[in-house]
Amino acid sequence: MKLDQHVERLKDDLVESVREVVRIKSTQGDPKPGMPYGEGPGRALETALKIAERLGFKTKNVDGYVGYAEYGEGDELVGVLGHLDVVPEGDGWKYPPYDAEIHDGKIYGRGTTDDKGPIIAALYGLKAIKDAGLKLNRRVRILFGTNEETGSNEIEYYLKHEEAPTIGFTPDANYPIIYAEKGITIFNVVKDFKVKSGDIAIKYIRGGNRPNMVPDYCECGLVINDENKKKSMIDEVKRFRDVTGFDLKCEEKQDMLVIKSIGISAHGSLPHLGKNAIMQLLLFLNVIYTADDDVKEYIDFFAQNVGLETNGKTFGVYLKDDTGDLSFNVGTIDMNEEMGSMGLNIRYPVTFKYEDFMNPFNEKIKKHGIRVENMRHQPPLYFPPDHPLIETLSKVYEEMTGQKAELLAIGGGTYAKEMKNMVAFGPIFPGKPDLDHQANEYIEIDDLILNAKIYAHAIYELANKI
């Protein structure tokens, strides 16, 4: 088909453009003039807009929050929304996470699938429409966000200053189509330590990068003045490791004994796919730290009520419907001798309300002097299967892949929640690994090109048929 041929002609340029943006480390940083989320996201935005300008599109940088490339005419607007910011790279990479190296037909790097590769593919899909000379009845904007991984606050800014899309999609999840997304909460659970005792002092516990990531590393510093007890502790780490299979290590550092817990990272929406380094360490500490104080109560509470569970059953907040189970992820911990704070990411099925799990959650923690701080909440998203947007994207997917468009419900939060009349559409094909937020993230070049073709057809249909 004509559009597909134009995408094929753009293949090499598309690959190099994806590599160009992946090479920028666009994790959130300190604000700078014109770069509200730091230099990394700001540079990635500038780079994406320069690519769009090279392709002949009208572009705009909305004060460093969002940028867009626009094409076509009409009163209404089709939006394709992707993000250029990324989560921290973490450890365990085979190839450097920001070198965008190509091996075995795959581009490796943080953001290749989440979300730099797909949104650049959508940009080139629009370029194929432009090159083919196809008329559009609606304008199209490829929107580049810069804060999706840490709050999506840039979309609120965009909607205050710019036009909202009439309809659209975000290439921020899986194919075929995400018709339902669980509600998402991210918050801290905090306790002040007033009562202290014991001959072992926990000076600190630190672990995790983001609440929406299963932590792959956590460590604590212990002060043990008795040399015999210190030696006994080193032996206890080895014994606990042998019994549980947890990857725990122990080393002496200055006046402390440092215990290190190694886990396996995964997306916070799928915590059962990872190994939680924080909870491994807390389960160990709950065995060896026997003092009757506030620190012990905090550790014991989470060891007993969470442990290695990822669905909230023991905590008493488990929910389930046709869109799946509630997911419960302990993503970060920052603890010292004065207080403890843990970052949680709980996602709940679409037929339930926020209060259905937060009321029992709050009831449980208040008995232990634990409080909730910094709550962020996104309600669930749902589109009926016969909605015109769902039907249009299903048609495109089936025609382009020859596979039935089975609708999906997910725990992951996508940009679709940030703008009305949007759903998540790709980029990960059925049967392919979901490497978002994981080490060795990559996108297959063949899949990148197929995404560009699918997005070209989807943009054309949404601009002309609905």
The residues that are catalytic are 85, 148
Span between the terminal Cα atoms of the chain, in Å: 22
CA distances from 72 to 79, 184, 321 (A): 12, 35, 42
Angle at Cα 327 formed by Cα 275 and Cα 249, nearest 5°? 20
Q: Give the closest residue to 331 by CA, choosing from 82, 150, 456.
A: 150
Length of the chain: 466
Strands (E) in 355-406, as ranges, are 371-378, 381-382
Task: Enumerate residues 6+ apart whose C-beta is below 8 A from 353.
Answer: none
Crossing angle for the helix pair 39-54 and 11-22, to the nearest 10 degrees? 160
Strand partners, 451: none
CA distances from 158 to 61, 115, 320, 339 (A): 10, 19, 35, 37
CA distance 20 to 41: 13
DSSP 3-state assignment of 127?
Answer: helix
CA distance 109 to 106: 10
Is 419 in contact with 159 (CB distance < 8 Å)? yes
CA distance 330 to 284: 16
Q: At which residue do the structure tokens 């230099």 appear?
A: 39
Number of C-beta neighbours around residue 347 at 10 A: 29
CA distance 419 to 167: 9
Is 187 in contact with 358 (CB distance < 8 Å)? no
> What is the distance, to the nearest Å, from the Cα of residue 426 to the centroid of all Cα atoms in its chain?
15
Number of C-beta neighbours around residue 443 at 10 A: 27
Question: What would the DSSP string read from start to end of 366-424?
Answer: HTTT-EEEEEEEE--EE--TTSHHHHHHHHHHHHHHSS---EEEESS--GGGGSTTEEE
CA distance 217 to 345: 17
Task: Enumerate residues 6+ apart whose C-beta is below 8 A from 71.
Answer: 57, 58, 126, 129, 130, 136, 139, 140
